[in-house]
Structure formats: C-alpha cells, structure tokens
Structure 1
Amino acid sequence: MSLQIPRPIDPSLHPLATGNYRIATPAIEAFYELVVRCLRYRIMGALIYGPSRIGKTRAIEYVRLLLARDHPRMTTYHAQCEHKPRHAEGPFFANLLEAVGDPDPNGGSNPSKRMRLSLRIREAAARAGSSTVLLFCDEAQRFDDNEYEWLRDVHDALDRQQIKLFTFLVGQQELLAQKNAMQLAGKTQIVARLMVEELAFYGIRNAGDVAICLHGYDQTAYPEGSLWSFTRFYIPQAFDAGYRLATDADVLWQTFEAAHHKASLPGRLEIPMESFVRAVEIVLKDSELRDQPGYCPESALWEHAVRHSGYVQSRHATGRVLVSAG
C-alpha cells in the first residue's frame, strides 16, 4: 500500500494538505498576459471582472508569484477592498497602508496617512531596485467615485517621485458598469488612469481547460526540484505505472456537467476554481488508500468528489451569479 512508501516530507506539510498552492488556468494565463502587456506598453490601469467564487483572488496570488519569478525587482501589493458603510478617506488610506505593510495603518491624520503610503511604496521600490510597483485591488467594485479619485491622487503623488504605479482593479461585473457610468459622466481622468484595459475573468469552461488544470497536478513537484509531483505524492504506484490525472479530464468535465443538468442550473457550465480544486483534492486523498500499480479512480469516485465539491450547493444558495469573496 502506498502509505508504506516513504515520502520526501511529512504528508501533513504537503501544499495539498495545507491548501497553500495555486493551479494555473487559461483565465489566469490571460490575466498574466494582460499584466505583462500593461507593463510593456505603460498602461497604468486595467480592470478584471467576473462572477464571484470563480477564482479571482487565487488568480491575483498566482499572478504575483509569476511576477516574483519573472520580474523579481518589481514590488507587488494585494489590497482587499473592504465593505464600508461610509466611504471615508481615513479607512481608505488605512486599508492601503495595511496592504503595503505599514506597522500602524490606522494611526495619524488623513494627510499623514497619504504621505506615509507614498513613503512606504517609495521605500519598497528603492529596496527592490525598481521604480515599477503593481497594486492589485481585490473586490474593487466596492470603491465609490471618491475612492477612485483618491487612488488617482496616489498615482500622481508617486509619479512626481518617479515611481510608476500600475493598478489592477479586480472584482465582480459591477466594475464594468462603474467604468461605463464614469465614461457617461465625463469622468475620463479616472478611466484613462485606472481602467484602460479590461478582461472578463472566467472559470473552467470545457474539458480542455480541465486537462490543463489537471496537468498542473501531474507536473508540479513538491518539494521543488524533486520527482514528487502532486499526483505522485498521493498515488505513487499508479503514477509510476503511467496514470495521470489529466487522462481523466473528460470524465471530470462530464461529471460536473451531469451534476449541473441534474440540479437544473441555468446557463452553461463554468466550474469555479474553488469547486474544481476541492473535487481534485477529494479524489487524490481518497485514492491514497487504494493506490497500486494500474490503479485509476473509478467514475463513482469522481461523482462523489463533484457531489462534495460544493458546486451545486453554492449555485443553489446564490442563484445565477455567485455572490461572495473573489
């Protein structure tokens, strides 16, 4: 049995056990290409919008990892836009100060918060050795017009100090409506600075997308540089005998499709990353006890995994558009 086969690390520390890993999807690759294009053409702002729970927050984290690998001198930040009953300047700057690692984000007057924000970003850019800084604002549809103006002020202040701030507004479909409303209202200075490019973010749309994601589990090694891919870590005998998760891409897609139709859910199937990842984790963890040469998960196990992935439950709970954090 595979549990007797020694692993390179304690299984409880594996990223799949801790949930501390990210899988690339076609939508994430499109997101990263957008970021790289903005950097290349000096486009200072873009918006990325899509239904909730589709994987946008995970995508930000993945894109930041790719940037750290490909552009190690650039500074990146991930700000979580909070739901606020009133849109005051103090909480807005405190939120950004927290994102840039200020030790006392709520301290001081509003003007001092503004100055400290510029200072923290300038210090980080100097340490990194690059004047390019990227800010990802998650759940950005929560911003109002004043907050967009304050964000533009931050751009201007940094620009005067020779620091280029690229802002990526990530959120739900309302973001696009906000952009259109600003254009109609003639607030072109905000659109021209923060919302030039746009990208519709999406979930997993077909068996080909499923295969790309499953291939990530088959290829990604942990510890890095070892021969232990995520799939092999859980079912080493099956893996060494040639089994790959990606070969079950059609089975997994069809299983989600069957669940979608059986629950009479509207619209075409688009699997949120959260549900997809949970289904794959269930299959790997449950397969561990059954591992042997020639093993491959039965269709009943994939059905069990999809049933417990939360896909149908979350869609039923929230209707057509999934509502909650990224």
Structure 2
Amino acid sequence: MSSEQHSTLASASLTSGARPTDPALHPIETGGYRIATPAIQAFSDLVNRCLRYHITGALTYGPSRIGKTRAIEYLRLLLAQTQPKITTYHAQAEHKPRHAEGPFLSNLLEAVGFPDPATGTNSAKRMRLINKIKEACARNGSGTVVLFCDEAQRYDENEYEWLRDVHDHLDRLQIRLFTFLVGQQELLAVKTAMQHARKTQIVSRLMVEELAFFGIRNVRDVATCLNGYDQTCFPRASEWSFTRFYLPQAVEGGYRLVNDAGLLWSAFEQLHNRHGLPGPLEIPMESFTRAVEILLKDSERRDGEGYRPDAASWSVAVRNCGYIQSRQALSAELMTSAV
C-alpha cells in the first residue's frame, strides 16, 4: 500500500470517527501506559542530575501505593527513548527471613534477564551478573548502567555491601553503575543509621542524593496528569489521544479531560473528608488512573458533540477507584510500624 493510500485511510478514519485500532489493544485496556506526574518529573530530574554529575547512588522514598513502582517503569521507558545507549534494570527486593548472598545475587540476575538465576555458586552468580551487564553495555554502545532497586528498605547492611561490590567490579571494567534505591519512608532511616554507623563507603556510593516521593497533591497536579491523557496518542503516530479514543465526538466538540481538573480534585476531596481520613489529601497514582479509566469507559456510551462529564460522573469514578481502601491500608501499615 502506498503512502498516499495510508494517508487517505487515516484521513477517512479521522473523518468518520472510526477508531484506528481494536479497543481491546488500547493501553487503557491493557494497562500498558504511564502518565507523568510532578513527582515523576522530580524523580526524572534526580536521575538526570546524577547521570550528569556522575553521582552513582540516590534514594527515593515515600508511602506505599503512592506510585513509586509506576515511576520506575515510566523512567525506564523515558530513558529508552531519550538515551537509548543507557542500559536500565529494575530489581525488586524480596522480603525474606534470612539475608544471604546467594538469593541476593539471584534476584539481581533475574533483574538483568539471566536464565536460571538461582543455579550455581555465589562466585559463579557474581560473574554471570557482571558478564550479563557487560554484554548489554557492549550491545547498547555505552558503559552507563542505571539500576532501580524497588522496595530497597528490605535490604540489610550485607546486601548493601554486596551491591557496592558489584559497583566496584563494574568500575574496574570501566562500566559506571548508577543505583537508585526506591522504597518506603524507612529507607531514609536506613541512610541515617548508615551515617551514624560511619558506613561511609555505602552512603557515598549508594545514598548520596535523596528525594521524597509524593502523590497528586493539588488541582494543578491533577491538571498536569489529565493533560497527559489529552496529549498521549495511540497508535503513537496517530491523532487519537487517549481522551479522543473514548470520547471522539466530545473531543471534536472541544472537550478535554484537563477541563475537569477541578471536578476530579473536588470529588477526591469530598470522599477524603467524608470518611474522615487523616492528613491532607494526597492521591496515589493507582487510584487516580483508575478513576480516569472508569470515567472514560462509563462516558463512552454517552459520547456526543456536546457531552461533558458532570460532577456526579466523576464522583462515581472516584468512589470506585479504590482510594479509600488504599488509604486505610496505608494507615494500618503506619500503625503497625509505629508499634
């Protein structure tokens, strides 16, 4: 098919309002998308600053379910697009009753994509890890590696030492490893304890910079995130924004999700206050995206040129997004940790 025919078909699709792809394949259905937030932008700035100034370690901490893991996924995708020569990995620290070097190395081997990561001696695992990273750097054409360690508050002192050993080994091969420790608030306490114990080698290598991660905290943050749905397109080269995919006629008539930032923030605020939740409103990314997805799917059948979701529609979406359950789970965790 010629480029003119492709263009003609695309134009016909835009005119007719026919969707350019199967709705079941859309990222909102598959979950395969990430929307930038002010917190993610702050995290991205931290990563770029560390890369630019050769700061090899930083930590990012915040409450559970606030969006840290989604931020890691977003930043890996962003780095793949903007700095494709950089090798990135995402390791998930595991909760385990005993901390041994073998399981720790197996976890890192799994993160770098090594088959059968649990087999072999510790020394064999260590060499496999180094070689796997070395191969990836050679393939990508750069000696720069970014490792995100999620739930890093689960590591003990020995695991931080083993991680530092990996840094040192790669450094001898002229491969610079940048480690970003991501976890709950206890992660900051881990750094403080390391400083008091004079574990300067760990702190100076893995914990130089720090960032407090946060949720969506005001109506401006809501607008920033909603604008992502209005601007992100699928398929990528098309003119079909996420909003337009579900509300083509409303968008044709001028509607944008960002217009409803005040309505969405108000719906969360009312729910937060109605349940007497402690502290200021801070929306976890998981709850936010689910609310937007519910609104888009529920509004799809009401779509029309003059359609605009009303406050009641946003309230229904917010009530069903899991925000209350998320906050109650967080409160229970905080009470448990306090005891």
Q: Which residue in the other structure is 2:305 paired with?
A: 293
* CA–CA separation in structure 1 for the residues paired with 2:256 and 2:185: 36
Q: Residue 107 of structure 1: CA displacement?
A: 1.0
Distance 2:162 2:95 in 1: 17
1:202 partner amino acid: F
2:122 is the alignment partner of 1:79: no
Match of 1:167 among 163, 172, 179: 179
TM-score under structure 1 length normalisation: 0.96
Structure 1 runs of 4+ off > 6 angstroms?
A: none
* Within-5 A mapping of 1:109-188: 109-188=121-200
How do 1:1-326 and structure 2 match up within 5 A?
Answer: 5-319=17-331
Amino acid at match of 1:242: G
Amino acid at match of 2:213: F
Q: Which runs of 5+ in 1 are unaligned?
A: none
Matched with 2:13 is: none
Distance in 1 separating the partners of 2:333 and 2:124: 40
Q: Distance in 2 between matches of 1:268 and 1:208?
A: 15
TM norm structure 2: 0.93
| Whole-angstrom CA distance in 2 between matches of 1:89 and 1:249 | 48
Contact 2:39 2:213 in 1 (8 A): yes
| Separation (CA, whole Å) in 2 of partners of 1:83 and 1:302 | 38
CA displacement at 1:5 relative to structure 2:
4.1
State the superposition RMSD in angstroms: 1.2
d(CA) in 1 for partners of 2:35 and 2:70? 9
- Alignment partner of 1:319: what SS? helix
Q: Once the two structures are aligned, what percentage of the paired residues are identical?
A: 70
Cα drift, residue 69 of structure 1: 1.0
Q: Distance in 1 between matches of 2:211 and 2:180?
A: 10
Which sections of structure 2, spanning at least 5 residues, go unmatched? 1-15
Deviations 1:29-81 (A, max 9, x none): 01001000000000000000000000000000101111111111010000011
Q: Distance in 2 between matches of 1:288 and 1:145?
A: 52
Tell me the amino acid that sits aligned with residue 189 of structure 2: A
Read off the aligned partner of 2:215 and give its amino acid letter.
G
Q: Alpha-carbon deviation of 1:184?
A: 0.3
Q: Deviations over 1:59-110 (max 9, x none)?
A: 0010111111111101000001111110011000000000001112011101
Number of positions where the alignment pairs a residue of Structure 1 with one of Structure 2: 320
